[in-house]
Structure 1
């Protein structure tokens, strides 16, 4: 992978930035109302005024057909109609060759690499700060390929950082077992399992045990 950036905005927009507003059209497609409106609000706060939102792939394609190509389209990787990277391919055609990127809360490095290999302008985690998000948008509109450096470096090593016991506990989480059930299966104290779960959440950057299991499934860690 090449041309991956994370923070500094491209020089091509320096004059627009100095003027206070960026004259670009961005379309956000996400089936979670709060998520897409929050992202739109963050971009607007950073001076990107012309941001539109829709809730699925079909609406996104219809919006492009009605109002013309956008400078950047951000697609939620798992929203209705996407079918993996099929939705990316459809939107690239609809948007006339202008950049199309993927949004996701949990997307594996392999999936991101596949998307970029198939022409995605990049991958934007939904947890990015407003400044980083706006910089990512500027990079992709400028023709660069964006993916957070730390994400691309760290994702492959996540499972390698887990001990054998942590991997066993993670498998229990993925099977929907409670701490007590995992403790019984592994012949350990429940308090020990709780400590392992806490460590797993830290290593996988998960919010809780359910999120850890989701990350493990999405990234095929087991």
Structure 2
């Protein structure tokens, strides 16, 4: 089984590759951004399955997914992400993605999902979709926009504005504005208190 993994986080690439290469029938190629992935699909494709990080450089969201589906000669292309929201995941599936893998997925589940998608089936973790739906219904979440929730999730994880900006493919100054706005909405004095409120209320 010939796989292509494209992710700009070296640690993520190495970790996933380590799991996949333990499978005797899996061969993994890697790319650090969308242009590299596109080159590999053009020169060495089609791959049995392409895994694309949703926020890596050059991806351009779902537009990158559509381009990859064409470049991989209609063979399966899936999204992996640690920040994608349920609505975006569902939209990706609707336009033909082979599936969606959260970066929190267990190694064994990931292997099963990859085999499932490479076989032509569509995969999405029920738990993710259910949890995301419950999160949207949370009283605290209703005060915030989807983007503010993503930024708040980054604060809860202890990320800096720069790290959140990188993960969401936004400018750092934009993240600062979102932090200021969500702090006001949550009546928090600062980012730390906002994260504490989110934790105490069970938002994440």
TM-score w.r.t. the length of structure 2 is: 0.73
Q: How many residues align?
A: 174
1:63 maps to 2:64: no
- Using the alignment, how far apart are the partners of 1:96 and 1:193 within structure 2? 46
**Do residues 44 (structure 1) and 21 (structure 2) align?**
yes
Residue in structure 1 matched with residue 119 of structure 2 by the alignment: 142
Residue 74 of structure 1 aligns to a residue in which SS? strand
CA distance in 2, matches of 1:34, 1:194: 26
Aligned pairs for 1:58-207 (under 5 A) are 58-163=35-140, 167=143, 175-176=178-179, 186=187, 196-200=197-201, 202-204=202-204
Q: TM-score, with normalisation over the residues of structure 1? A: 0.68
Q: Is the 8 A contact 2:140 2:203 kept in 1?
A: no
Offset, 1:167: 4.6
* Larger radius of gyration between Structure 1 and Structure 2: 1
SS in 1 for 2:52: strand
Distance 2:39 2:188 in 1: 56
For structure 2, the residue ranges without an aligned partner over 5 or more in a row are 153-174
Q: Which structure would you say has the larger RCO, counting Cα contacts within 8 Å and 6 or more residues apart?
A: 1
Gaps of 5+ in 1: 1-23, 205-222
Q: Deviations over 1:42-68 (max 9, x none)?
A: 112244530110111111111122222
Structure 1 runs, 4 residues or longer, greater than 2 Å off: 45-49, 161-164, 170-177, 185-188, 192-200
Contact 2:188–2:194 (CA under 8 A) maintained in structure 1: no
